[in-house]
Amino acid sequence: MNSATFRIWRGDARGGEFRDYSTEISEGMVVLDAVHDIQATQANDLACRWNCKAGKCGSCSAEINGMPKLMCMTRLNDLPLDKAVTIEPMKAFPPLKDLITDVSWNFAVKKRIKPFKPRPPDAPDGTWRMAQRDIDRVQEFRKCIECFLCQDVCHVLRDHHKQDQFIGPRFFVYSAALEMHPLDIEDRVVELRETQGIGYCNITKCCTKVCPENIHITDNAIIPLKERVVDDYYDPLGWIWKKIRRRNERSPEPLA
């Protein structure tokens, strides 16, 4: 059995430092396994957040060798082990303890986004009719596990600290899922431009590169939302057409 060194950030909101831990490693291990081994044998007070160990709960987000990643989905044999593997908390959020950050800002942002508002049912039995291609378009966005790695990597939040003016890629994905839902009749375009800062995104695609669910955040969510903003604000014919279309959506012909 081999061993490897892990340089783990230890500290809290007042500050901290990296400490080195060596532990035995074996075939198939992921970074979270190594952190658990270190926790069990050398640092019982090491704090890390995790739940599923299957890439589905979004809890174990951290920065591994400087890259935002899920600890449970990062295999040791994909990392160079001839030098220490650095593991530190996400930088875009306030540190709480060791690898745990305070991500509560994200949940406050989510509450500010207008919720799903379906049009009246299409049929007298209270059901709706939707085209499969319209369902397929939003299905991708529903894969989000709220790991917030995209928020962590986005320079608007990470470097420019625009948390009060910019909701971040995760919530553009969330807004896109609602805006493009075939039944939704709410209009979120004014907020996207005025208070949610979509204009700050300069489509660097860093968020897309780190998404563990491979959601095409920029191409499929942010760019179509930006196009809606442009249509509404700078294309008067598009604006009038949209108003007519939305009015018709609110009063669909009842199905026989």
Q: Which of ligand SF4, ligand FES, none is residue 51 near (CB under 5 to 8 Å by kind)?
A: ligand FES
Run of H or E residues at 194: helix 189-194
Tokens describing residue 160: 């420019």
Which residues partner with 9 through β-bridges?
18
> Which distant-in-sequence residues (6+ apart) come within 8 Å of 97 by Cβ?
11, 12, 47
Examine residue 29 and tell whether it contacts ligand FES (CB under 6 A): no
Q: Give me the phi and psi of 218, to 5 degrees please.
A: -75, -50
Of 15-23, 80-88, 183-191, 211-219, which segment contacts ligand SF4 by CB under 6 A? 211-219
- Smaller CB separation from ligand FES, 58 or 89: 58
Query: Other CB atoms closer than 10 Å to residue 25's CB: what's the count?
Result: 19
**Which DSSP category does 41 fall into?**
H
Q: Which of ligand SF4, ligand FES, none is residue 148 near (CB under 5 to 8 Å by kind)?
A: ligand SF4
* Residue selected from 79, 185, 206, 223 as contacting ligand SF4 according to rule CB under 6 A: 206
Examine residue 53 and tell whether it contacts ligand FES (CB under 6 A): yes
Quick check: 180 and 224 in contact, CB under 8 A? yes
Examine residue 209 and tell whether it contacts ligand SF4 (CB under 6 A): no
* Residue selected from 123, 135, 190, 203 as contacting ligand SF4 according to rule CB under 6 A: 203
Examine residue 70 and tell whether it contacts ligand FES (CB under 6 A): yes
**Please, where are the H alpha helices in 103-168?**
104-112, 132-139, 149-153, 155-158
* Residue selected from 71, 103, 145, 177 as contacting ligand SF4 according to rule CB under 6 A: 145
> Beta-strand (E) ranges in the chain?
2-12, 15-25, 61-64, 67-70, 85-88, 95-97, 100-101
Examine residue 92 and tell whether it contacts ligand SF4 (CB under 6 A): no
Which residues contact ligand FES (rule: CB under 6 A)? 50-53, 55-60, 70, 72
Which residues contact ligand SF4 (rule: CB under 6 A)? 144-150, 153-154, 156, 169-170, 173, 201-207, 210-213, 215, 217-218, 222
